[in-house]
Amino acid sequence: MAKPQAPGAVTPANKIELFSGSYFAACTLGGIIACGPTHTAVTPLDLVKCRRQVDSNLYKSNMQAWRQIGAKEGLRGIFFGWAPTFVGYSFQGAGKYGAYEVFKYYYGEKLFPNTNKTVVYLAASATAESIADCFLCPFEAIKVRMQTTIPPYANGLREGWTKIVAQEGFAGLYKGLVPLWGRQIPYTMVKFSTFEAAVSKIYQYLGKPKETYGTLAQTGVSFLGGYIAGIGCAAVSHPADVMVSKLNSDRKPGESAGKAMARIYGNIGFKGLWNGLPVRIVMIGTLTAFQWLIYDSFKVYLGLPTTGGH
């Protein structure tokens, strides 16, 4: 009679040892695959959202915006800014998912083993996102300037990078880092902690342990948990998202981030911080759901367990 395998043991179907260097490298690659293509796919939504955040009177509706852009510029115009989006969010996905798995393990298992799991999820996701944003920030700065200026500040990633560095130095690529942290760190803390909680609650509702379900059902749970998490993190991070768009398009030379934010807030007020929220909820909810689906499907493909529900 075969001996039962201990949890996390290496089996023929699971050749990557859990919590090994190979495991964390696989999670990093999964983050790239999950984030880069999905963010790029919703570029049309992001383009209109950013423009409406900067100028709420520019378009009356999203459909009117796409019709107007498509009539003038075709499909390329609707997907304008896809290149910095793809590169930036691929880097960000690597840092976000890979580092989250690292810090979740070390915080929860090695450094603070008796800590509440939700605290571990929040701390691990905050740490991971602070690192990931350092990779994302230059590409986000280029993307926002391209998308929110008419005529566009630059027509491509290379041109945008060259122009910013020539005009403002390398620091110009990072002038939005602090507000980006303000948007992304709460976003990711809610995204990961809510996902973990939602997945656990779904399995509790189903009434059976996660391991009793097949991989198709488990990835389906990941998709549902991701959508629930996406709605929450979209709402939490939206004011900072608006401010990031405004800062990258309307920050005066030599103006500090604090002064720029105070001036912008004086112009748009509290209500202006919520411009484009319905679009962002649809965008982020769908985006987050598919990211978790892709990420956990990739883990399953490698013979690894899906995230959460333990």
Distance CA 56, CA 164 (A): 26
Cβ within 8 Å of residue 48, ≥6 positions away? 59, 62, 65, 66, 69, 279
Instruction: Supply the pLDDT for residue 7.
Output: 43
Q: What is the largest CA-CA distance in the chain?
A: 74
Q: Digits of tens for pLDDT over the chain (310 positions)?
A: 334 444 443 344 448 899 999 999 999 999 999 999 999 998 998 898 888 877 777 888 888 889 999 999 999 999 999 999 999 999 999 999 999 999 999 999 989 988 999 999 999 999 999 999 999 999 999 999 999 888 889 999 999 999 999 999 999 999 889 888 988 898 899 899 999 999 999 999 998 889 899 999 999 999 999 999 988 888 887 887 788 777 766 777 777 778 888 888 888 888 888 887 887 788 788 889 999 999 999 999 999 999 986 6
**Partners of 11 in the β-ladder:** 14
Residue 310: its pLDDT value, please? 64
Predicted TM-score (pTM) of this structure: 0.81
Burial class (CB in 10 A: 0-12, 13-18, 19+), 14: middle
Signed CA dihedral, 90, 94, 96, 101: sign only: positive
How many angstroms separate the CA atoms of 99 and 123, rounded? 11
Spatial separation of the C-alpha atoms in residues 153 and 150, rounded to whole Å = 7
Q: Is 14 helix (H, G, I), strand (E, B) or coil?
A: strand
Contacts of 265 (CB under 8 A, 6+ apart): 243, 272, 273
Place of tokens 């090994």: 20
Residue 14 main-chain phi, psi, to 5 deg: -135, 80
Predicted confidence at residue 1, as pLDDT, reads 37
**21-to-76, 101, 154, 232 alpha-carbon distances in Å:** 40, 11, 40, 32
